[in-house]
Structure 1
Amino acid sequence: MPTLTLSTSPGPLILEARCEPQVCYVLLTVRAAATGDAGVRPVNWALVADASRSMRIPIVDETQFRSLLRNGSAQETLVDGVPVWQLSGSVPQEVRKAASSALDHVVHALHTVVERLDRNDRLSLVVFADHALLLIPGMVGSDRVTLVRAIERLPGLDLGDGTNLADGIALALNQIRANRDARRANRVLLLTDGFTRDPAACLTLADQAADEHIAITTIGLGGEFQDDLLTGIADRSGGNALFLKRASAIPRAISAELESARAAALPGVDIAIAPMRGVMLRRVTRTRPVLAILAEPTGTGASDVVSVLLGDLPAGSPVTLLLEFLVPAANPGPLWIAGVAARSAGVRLAEADIRATIAHGAPPLSDDVRAAAARAMAARLMRRAIAASDSIEAARLMRAAAARFDELGEPALAAAAREQAATIERNGRAASIVTRELIYATRRLGDAS
């Protein structure tokens, strides 16, 4: 069985002796290592694909677009202060036939996936719009002819114009449960370009998936989807969150997710952090491989056990968490801060103690801890700026985030944040497309940890 190790930094941890509580940062690295007999894992995979009207709109190339301009079928308009091109009339039939839609790219991606499945894999396909439909019910990978025939039905379906994402997720989870096998990696992948009716129901389903060690990866396409919902579903369940500007990137993204599922060495890894008496865990931020705030405990504080889900861990690709504690005033000497336990699918595999020495003349923060804390602060500022209801406060927080990006050596991200702040001041609200790009770009700062 693969092994799992925990390590902390800095080591040794030395804190300044103070007569008042102080903040303490600790980096926790979680690493899975495969044994010699570990091979590629089969997958139990459910794809949840948006099949609403917006996914069927033809995507034209430059030549086709210029033809639409000449015919008066497209015009420039402002959306959230950003100039965009919109159709002002019907798309000519010859253009429609020649242009692919986002749904066409999904079909192409599924054909590619089917070619790479083997007899131990299971594939389910759920499509949704106003309601959800099970198109492929957990079929084995070797039944390629039947799979292809089912996929070819996708473009001809009419499920309405809505985006009932919760029904799609629920149907997919039922398929994963029906085809569970200890040998297989259990994954759900959902793709949408729109706003769903009931986001709260989607997050509840993500929590259920987390309890059952089923990771949900989300793909948001284009500029009109709920980024906070899709990143929330992914982070709660231990999946990935992807943003695709162009539908042509769908096949590559779906294929990469399949390979990621196969590479998982340990499924459903979670970390339980138990602060000692008098110590409060204030925040857990994943700083690698993707930057995200995983927990901000809101309970009574001291001694509350906090669990965070990391999802499936591939061998050799560590996950790093920044733990932020508030420790009590203490005299020089040893101080036990917290106990940490790592589990995979409910089985405890590793544990570690976080201990400090209280002393006069403690060293400054190490470079790796300082860099992680800076990235965590940038993520918090960005999240607060987006959530702020007051435009003046939102612009202020966005500029503060921009200053952090400058300090992190991210000038392009800093410039985008400042431009967004100016848009908020000018229009009283943020440009949704730019906000979305900033959210996902901030998450990618974890790659630089």
Structure 2
Amino acid sequence: MSDYELPPPSKRARDLRERMARFLREDVLPAEAEYERYRREAGPDDHVLPPVVEELKKQARSEGLWNLFLPAESGLTQLEYAPIAELSGWSLDLAPEAINCQAPDSGNMELLHLLGTEQQTREWLRPLLAGEIRSGFAMTEPEVASSDATNIATRITKDGGDYVINGRKWWTSGAMDPRCAFFIVMGKTDPTAATHRQQTMVLVPRDTPGVTVVRDYPVFGHHDQHGHAEVQFTDVRVPVQNVIGEEGGGFAAAQARLGPGRIHHCMRAIGAAERALAMLVARAKSRTAFGSPLSDKGVVRQQIAESRVELEQARLLCHHTSHVIDVRGNKAAKDLVAMAKVVVPRTAATIIDRAIQVHGGAGISDATPLAAMYGWHRAMRLFDGPDEVHIEAIAKAELRRESPLP
């Protein structure tokens, strides 16, 4: 079987996908109103998880919809997980956490599963897998161009049996949640080493002296429940046993973490685009303008058709990439991951934008989820590497490729 021949899903994978669809339809989407009511009444500065999500988590566990992102836990391939992750993308605030597949925890769980010590697994990975705590990933910095990870300026200095950390991070997703128990922090341990051996990842409990969560950053004015925080690390001291992997291995660890994380973001974005298209079609059928339904207007029909074409193309790329990860590994799939990371967020944002246009005023307000969906998927073109970085990597790979001509 070639990389382009996608294997059929197993019976168990098909069953889980059907269970997820039912869970989304009967439990998650109906819970959105209660989630939004709680968040609206609590206000943007409150980051407590609305109780309805804990109820959904219990329901998901009883349905076997739990930790499906991690092959070692679920037994699913990335390709088999993709349709389930897509469904979770229909309700980004509720569904991923309900099934314990939310970022940044899923990426941190992958990292700890790959590189964590027995103690780190016991103290941090197992509670994350159980959905008892949350975590943050502290990599991006405000003072440097973090699209180039070698620019990271946070210093991690060895002092006897400890590491001492000094630096400022931002866009540390998950940090505002009261359940956030620890951060994985990336910084420089040896600025004189080879470029890709200067960085190290260290596990830092949130309550460590010197850790200050400064503020939350909104995404296009929308404050997520878990938050995207600025975090200051001032003389933060942790034992050297808190290193993730090995000293100097931070860059490689970041690549190992971000590969699956990027494709999982893409899987969920396909779901968001599918929901936006469904909303676009429903609105076009239900609204009349200038004497006929919007669905009779040629310009609207064109937008619907182009959205479906673009969505199917993006889904195929996402599934192909997932399959290559399954059969050949993250490193072999890195160029495809870069392509998906460029194509899928652009496609999702474009389709959501069309749905906003057809919804008029409702599309740019909180009367529909479209405005928040657009903000997140536009931001997705920046986080986990901006488009320009991925395009440069794709071009370099193509220039190195031998001609396919005989």
TM-score (norm 2): 0.27
Higher strand fraction: Structure 1 or Structure 2?
1
TM-score (norm 1): 0.25
Higher helix fraction: Structure 1 or Structure 2?
2
